[in-house]
Amino acid sequence: MSKKQHTDPAHQNKSHEGIVSSVDAVAAEHIKQQRLKKPEADELIHELCKGNQVALSRAITFIESTSVKHKVIARHIIEGCLPFANQSIRIGITGVPGVGKSTFIESFGKLLISKGKKVAVLTVDPSSTLSGGSILGDKTRMEELVKEENAFIRPSASGNSLGGVARKTRESIILCEAAGFDVILIETVGVGQSETAVHSMTDFFLLLKLAGAGDELQGIKRGIMEMADVIVINKADGENLKAAKQAKVEFQRALHLFPAKESGWTPKTATCSALKNEGIEAIWEIVSDYITLTKNNEFFDHKRNEQNKFWLHQTIEEQLKTDFYTHPKIKKELPKILRDIETHKTTPFEAAKKLFSLFTKK
Ligand SMILES: Nc1nc2c(ncn2[C@@H]2O[C@H](COP(=O)(O)OP(=O)(O)OP(=O)(O)O)[C@@H](O)[C@H]2O)c(=O)[nH]1
Ligand SMILES: [Mg+2]
């Protein structure tokens, strides 16, 4: 909405040396205007921290919003929630489309709830903006979990960049934790870069596989297998049971070929039937063993710290990129410079230097 009128005032922010942040300038302006609205955000934080799911949903909507006004409120909410965050187990769940991730989450989530946990489910699916999302599918696959009082299911954050979607998911994790959710499950489709993003925001990484399909067919790259803390062969039921057991042995063998993990953890394999609710408890035991091990050897906190540093760098890179490409002078000069490159009047390096000096000039 009001986005356009706020893209340019960045240059008004003279307090920053050289590099200006459009978001900060806009935010500062809006914080002034939003003062009256702050009590509303404070009330939202208050309700959210009491575990009110309606408040949690509303808060996530602010995070997902592209409106500058909402972004200011979102920032305020996150800051208010941070002191109450960080107390959960974050589990990433990946696997090719149709492997049974949502069905698994339904069974796994219900098990956790029966153990007295509060479970939040988030999804990272950058493709959902194009395809319209798997929201409908997820709702039907998780039809029982959805009804549980102690479950919170939030379908894909939308966005046109993985970085944007990942940021929203990370911030949503903080809000879910502040709302008292102690297990956060993050589903992502195992076909792109999204599992790397999810891996870098979770404590434990669970890869779902199917028996009988080659690795190429499953579209799973070696790197993703290497990230896994457990490989679970799903659909181990009916005629598929024998093949699933066989696949488990093969994956266990394959995992031995990978170098030892910094966590000190040896990745495990398991079989389950998400649909028939079989083998799910054993998977929770594996997760629990991992958490105990890594909390004892302090890898758990170390990993979260490393992840925070990683996301700091990611955020800076994204912000710089946005600031650069939305800078009025760059917007004006870039097309000319691109033409100069086409006509060999300049080199990419010279051109980049010139653009940078325009960008950093006060
Ligand atoms: N036989 C059997 N079928 C299963 C099992 N788990 C899931 N399915 C079926 O597999 C299909 C896909 O399941 P989903 O849970 O939607 O798979 P998904 O990985 O979440 O799929 P996307 O979200 O589209 O990536 C559904 O028809 C499920 O009923 C299982 O353990 N056994
Ligand atoms: Mg799904």
Per residue of the chain (362 residues), what is the pLDDT tens digit? 333 333 333 333 333 333 445 556 666 655 555 554 567 789 999 999 999 999 999 999 999 888 888 988 999 999 999 999 989 999 999 988 889 999 999 999 999 999 999 999 998 876 554 444 444 455 567 888 989 999 999 876 666 677 778 888 999 999 999 999 999 999 987 666 788 888 999 999 999 999 976 654 455 567 788 899 999 999 999 999 999 999 999 999 888 888 889 999 999 999 999 999 999 999 999 999 999 999 999 999 999 999 999 989 988 988 899 899 999 999 999 999 999 999 999 999 999 999 999 999 87
d(CA 268, CA 254): 11
Count of beta carbons in the 10 Å neighbourhood of residue 39: 9
* Portions of the chain given CATH number 3.40.50.300: 86-297
| Residue 119 burial (C-beta neighbours within 10 Å; 0-12, 13-18, 19+) | buried
The DSSP element (H or E) to which 271 belongs, if any, is strand 268-271
Going by CA atoms, what residue is nearest to atom 14 of ligand 1? 100
Going by CA atoms, what residue is nearest to atom 8 of ligand 1? 100
Helix, strand and coil percent figures for the chain, each rounded to 5: 60, 10, 30
Nearest ligand atom owner, CA of 141 = 1
Residue 55 near residue 148 (C-beta atoms within 8 A): no
d(CA 3, CA 305): 34
The reply to whether ligand 1 has any atom less than 6 angstroms from the CB of 212 is: no
| Protein residues placing their CB within 5 Å of the ion ligand 2 | 101-102
What is the dotted CATH code of the domain comprising 86-297? 3.40.50.300
Query: Among 80, 157, 78, which residue's Cα sits nearest to residue 125?
Result: 157
> What is the model's pTM?
0.83
Amino acid identity of residue 217, one-letter, is: L
Residue 206 near residue 93 (C-beta atoms within 8 A): yes
Cα(339) to ligand 2 centroid in Å equals: 45
The reply to whether ligand 1 has any atom less than 6 angstroms from the CB of 189 is: yes
